[in-house]
Amino acid sequence: MRGTNVTQISELSESHTIAVLVDNEAGVLGRVIGLFSGRGYNIESLTVSEVDHRERLSRINIVTTGTPMVIEQIKAQLGRLVPIHRVRDLTSDGPSVQRELALVKVASTGERRVESLRIADIFRARVVDSTNESFVFEIVGKTGKLDAFIRLMEPLGLIDVSRTGVAAISRGMDSL
Amino acid sequence: MLQQRMTGAEIVLKALVDQGVEVVFGYPGGAVLPLYDAIFKQNRIRHILTRHEQAAVHAAEGYARSTGKVGVVLVTSGPGATNAVTGLLDALLDSVPLVCLSGQVPTQLIGTDAFQEADTTGITRPCTKHNYLVKDVETLAGVMHEAFHVARTGRPGPVVVDLPKNVQVAEGTYIQAEQVRHKSYRPPVKGDATQIEKAVALMASAKRPVFYCGGGVVNSGPAACAALADLVHATGYPITLTLQGLGAFPASDSQFLGMLGMHGTYEANLAMHGCDVMVAIGARFDDRVTGKIDGFAPNAQIIHVDVDAASINKNVHSDIAIIGDAGSVIADMRVVWEAQGYRPDAEALTQWWRQIDTWRARKCLAFGASDTVIKPQLAIKRLHELSKHLDTYITTEVGQHQMWAAQHFPFDQPQHWMTSGGLGTMGYGFPSALGVQIAHPESLVVCIAGEASFMMNMQEIATAVQYQLPVKVFILNNCYMGMVRQWQELLHGSRYSESHTEALPDIVKLADAFGATGMVVSNPAELDATITRMIETPGPVLVDVRVDPFENCFPMIPSGATHDNMLLGELVGGRGPAVTEAGKGLV
Ligand SMILES: Cc1ncc(C[n+]2csc(CCOP(=O)(O)OP(=O)(O)O)c2C)c(N)n1
Ligand SMILES: [Mg+2]
């Protein structure tokens, strides 16, 4: 007979990107964040912005990790919040595109400065600000690519990073 | 349509009337004066003044749970709202429909640390099903109607509407409830037909089935409870109920195994442990029910019916999940059972009942007899005997007395039993009883209390006296926070740290001081006469029942143990396993 309890089902944590369509009203982000902190769920990345100005709807993209049962709980708990219209798991409901933007400031001179430019070129990062002793690079891509770029910049004078968090959307015809 | 202009306070009152509200429990203050003025000027809605905002919320809970209607609370800003918080969380955890109106400082002062300002929507966000801060009087009527809709539908719960004072005096337009359609909130009602068919097929194939039902059935309404009884009778299967579910199925029915869980019966817990098919309806696999989760119902296939999708697969994985209203799903199940011509496996069922009867024969609720000291269990049994000819409602406080009431006071009807289960709030029972009595003025309403819990909201004697609410407070006085003492005995070497209730007031004099009637009884021979006198005395009555201070509540599944590892009372086989070290760290 198969086991019926939570812990036997799976102990393996997975990362999921969840998209949520909400009424853009006061406190709605607080409800979502409070749900995650109150119930001990992880937030690895969270982005929020109004996507329909006429209907005043915002889209929240959340990257979270948990066992399959916890991920199911997160989706059910989100679905229960009154101002939430839709909850969609972009990781399990078919393929999706995920992008993040980072602004990366590197302060260096001489060979290290040249090297930072060379790596930026490989990663297709753009220079959006420069002084004699610094660059600000803009890089867009998957989280892993941004992580790699930032790691490479560390020995080359990295002094500041600003990241947007993940924006995600399903591939193909369907919409949230 | 003619547009009606009125003040915010008038809009609130009109919305309450249109929502069918008859009574509001509350306490005034600066930020709600316009609302209190509007109450003064009308006579459709009755206001009950409690003596503490927490009590107002519990009274509204008692009103709601005994009627199935939404309970309404009105409190002022700041301390009024924070005093209500415990009651709101209590209602959230036990799924009680409430609308709590709170005053707020004027919108232009919000965020300035104004006098009696509190971030009420922030504080109550995790304690409510939903909440609103109304900044514009033109949205007020819509929010009021929405609040009632959210509170009463789906899995019911408390909703706070925070009302800045300037919004209460501003003029706006009233709209009818029918004109409001919520943009996103769509609670489920009907369960998925295919899932229901699969579930009923599994039920029919069961060899050792059990129904495990909870407060969700009670919340779904008396019709849902009647449908449940019909389904249970059609199958012939045993049924156990949770603490909140008591009354959803008649306790006097031979298919009822009693309550399950930490202080549930031997037969109910062992049936859960040994079943091959479990039909869970409107119950949420709470830790007080499951015991150690790894060893819970190890051989069961689980069907779980719940209106709240988040309750499914939260603590225990279910094999067939049905999201929908209990009453609707039960009725559909019954139709499928009939239509498919399903019959229980008669031979297997006979064997299963034979097994259950051996468990029943342990008589796990038996307790010692004494002619010198009143046993608390006996007091409850006698209370039931002497009140069963009446329409009796029972509320409880929290502790041993609560569990003894659940074990020894049988309920044949829903909505007659009000107890704080999820939050376990001492101080719930007495104000809750006041709300029940308001809703049922002709019925007998008894709060079964512990002396420590009673003191948490005893100021409400004044409310009972003011409105001449004939509530009877039946205090099982063991001079201890008995449930704490019991755990200290079992887990902490009988070191009774701070659990003795010192300096208790004289209950008779206390009642007298408030203008109520007080009684005291310590001799078992006088117990019946005292109970009868309590029932027959008009007005509020407090009875100090001096009970055996060292009685413990059994059966008990100790923390960290499974259903088949129960501690039984000494009379019925005595001690089970000792509490493990890991168990000591659990609540
Ligand atoms: C507000 C609150 N504080 C503390 C507790 C912890 N607690 C649970 S039962 C209990 C003792 C209750 O004593 P009493 O009301 O005399 O009931 P008894 O167990 O003696 O029947 C306590 C302190 C609680 N449940 N609620
Ligand atoms: Mg006590």
* Domain definitions of chain A by residue range: 9-89, 96-170
Asked if B426 contacts B399 with a C-beta cutoff of 8 angstroms, the reply is: yes
* Nearest-angstrom CA–CA distance, B288 and A18: 32
Residue B133 has pLDDT above 50, yes or no: yes
* Nearest-angstrom CA–CA distance, B523 and B542: 17
Q: Which residues of B participate in catalysis according to the annotation? A: 53, 115-116, 165, 483
Residue B1 has pLDDT above 90, yes or no: no
* Nearest-angstrom CA–CA distance, B210 and B138: 52
Nearest-Cα residue of chain A relative to residue B185? A82
Confidence of residue B44 (pLDDT cuts 50, 70, 90): very high
Q: Can you list the alpha helix ranges (DSSP code H) found in B449-550?
A: 451-454, 461-466, 482-491, 507-514, 527-536
CA atoms within 13 A on the CB side of B504: 19
Residue in this structure with the two tokens 């912005």, named with its chain if needed = A49
Asked if A78 contacts A84 with a C-beta cutoff of 8 angstroms, the reply is: yes
Mean predicted lDDT score pLDDT of chain B: 96
How many CB pairs below 8 A link A and B? 71
* Nearest-angstrom CA–CA distance, B569 and B257: 18
Helix (H) or strand (E) holding A38: helix A28-38
* Nearest-angstrom CA–CA distance, B81 and B392: 32
Asked if A88 contacts A19 with a C-beta cutoff of 8 angstroms, the reply is: yes
Q: For a pLDDT cut of 90, what percent of chain B falls above it?
A: 95
CA atoms within 13 A on the CB side of B95: 21
Residue in this structure with the two tokens 């059972």, named with its chain if needed = B337
Identify the three-state secondary structure at position B210: strand
Ligand 2 ion: residues within 5 Å (CB): B 450-451, 478, 482
What pLDDT score was predicted for residue A2? 34
Identify the three-state secondary structure at position B89: helix
Residue B456 CA: which ligand 1 atom is closest? 1
For A93, other C-beta atoms within 10 Å of its C-beta total 12
Residue B35 has pLDDT above 50, yes or no: yes
* Digit-coded pLDDT (tens) for B239-252: 999 999 999 999 99
Distance (angstroms) between ligand 2 centre and the Cα of B424 equals 15
Cβ–ligand 1 distance for B460 under 6 Å, the answer no
Q: Tell which one of B86, B428, B484, B485 to mutate to probe ligand 1, the residue whose CB is within 8 A of the most ligand atoms.
A: B484
Higher pLDDT residue, B435 or B179? B435
Q: Tell which one of B483, B507, B546, B548 to mutate to probe ligand 1, the residue whose CB is within 8 A of the most ligand atoms.
A: B483
Identify the three-state secondary structure at position B312: coil
What pLDDT score was predicted for residue B575? 56
Asked if B87 contacts B61 with a C-beta cutoff of 8 angstroms, the reply is: yes
Asked if B162 contacts B128 with a C-beta cutoff of 8 angstroms, the reply is: no
Q: Which domains does chain B have, with CATH numbers?
A: 5-179 (3.40.50.970), 193-360 (3.40.50.1220), 376-546 (3.40.50.970)
Helices B376-387 and B400-408: crossing angle in degrees, nearest 10, is 50
With CA atoms as reference, report the closest residue to A73 among B531, B317, B254. Answer: B317
Tell me the β-bridge partners of A127.
A137
Q: Looking at residues B144-160, what average pLDDT do you find? A: 98
Residue B441 has pLDDT above 70, yes or no: yes
Q: Evaluate the CA torsion angle B55, B521, B393, B89 in order and state its sign.
A: positive
Identify the three-state secondary structure at position B534: helix
Residue A138 makes CB contacts below 8 A (sequence gap 6+) with A101, A102, A103, A104, A125, A126, A127, A128
The CATH fold assigned to A96-170 is: Alpha-Beta Plaits (3.30.70)
| DSSP for residue B578 | P
* Nearest-angstrom CA–CA distance, B579 and A135: 64
Contact B294 A30 (CB under 8 A): no
Class of domain A9-89: alpha beta
* Digit-coded pLDDT (tens) for B383-402: 999 999 999 999 999 999 99
ipTM, interface predicted TM-score of the complex: 0.92
Cβ–ligand 1 distance for B86 under 6 Å, the answer no
For B178, other C-beta atoms within 10 Å of its C-beta total 8
Nearest-Cα residue of chain B relative to residue A5? B316
What pLDDT score was predicted for residue B241? 98
What pLDDT score was predicted for residue B580? 67
Residue B453 CA: which ligand 1 atom is closest? 15
Confidence of residue B560 (pLDDT cuts 50, 70, 90): confident
What pLDDT score was predicted for residue B574? 60
Confidence of residue B571 (pLDDT cuts 50, 70, 90): confident
Cβ–ligand 1 distance for B261 under 6 Å, the answer no
Residue A109 backbone zone (phi > 0: left; psi -120 to 50: alpha; other: beta): beta
* Digit-coded pLDDT (tens) for B284-338: 999 999 999 999 999 999 999 999 999 999 999 999 999 999 999 999 999 999 9
* Nearest-angstrom CA–CA distance, B354 and B431: 44
Cβ–ligand 1 distance for B481 under 6 Å, the answer yes
Residue B86 CA: which ligand 1 atom is closest? 1
Contact B150 A84 (CB under 8 A): no
| DSSP for residue A163 | E
* Digit-coded pLDDT (tens) for B177-218: 998 899 999 999 999 999 999 999 999 999 999 999 999 999
Helix (H) or strand (E) holding B42: none
Asked if B481 contacts B450 with a C-beta cutoff of 8 angstroms, the reply is: yes
What pLDDT score was predicted for residue A7? 45
Asked if B504 contacts B546 with a C-beta cutoff of 8 angstroms, the reply is: no
Chain A interface test: which of B107, B148, B313, B562 (most A C-beta within 10 Å): B313
With CA atoms as reference, report the closest residue to B62 among B464, B555, B343, B440. Answer: B440
Chain B interface test: which of A1, A5, A22 (most B C-beta within 10 Å): A5
Residue in this structure with the two tokens 């690895």, named with its chain if needed = A44
What pLDDT score was predicted for residue B2? 58
Residue B402 CA: which ligand 1 atom is closest? 21
Q: Can you list the alpha helix ranges (DSSP code H) found in B324-443?
A: 326-339, 346-360, 376-387, 400-408, 429-439
Cβ–ligand 1 distance for B487 under 6 Å, the answer no
Strands B46-49 and B23-26 turn out to be parallel
Residue B167 has pLDDT above 50, yes or no: yes
With CA atoms as reference, report the closest residue to A17 among A83, A126, A98. Answer: A98
Q: Evaluate the CA torsion angle B324, B216, B60, B78 in order and state its sign.
A: negative
* Digit-coded pLDDT (tens) for B97-110: 999 999 999 999 99
Residue A131 has pLDDT above 60, yes or no: yes
Cβ-nearest to A80 among B122, B131, B310:
B310
Phi, psi torsion values for B342, nearest 5 degrees: -65, 145
Contact A1 B298 (CB under 8 A): yes
Which tokens go with B77? 């800003």
DSSP assignment of A109-154 equals -HHHHHHHHHHHHHTTPEEEEEETTEEEEEEEE-HHHHHHHHHHHG
* Digit-coded pLDDT (tens) for B407-429: 999 999 999 999 999 999 999 99
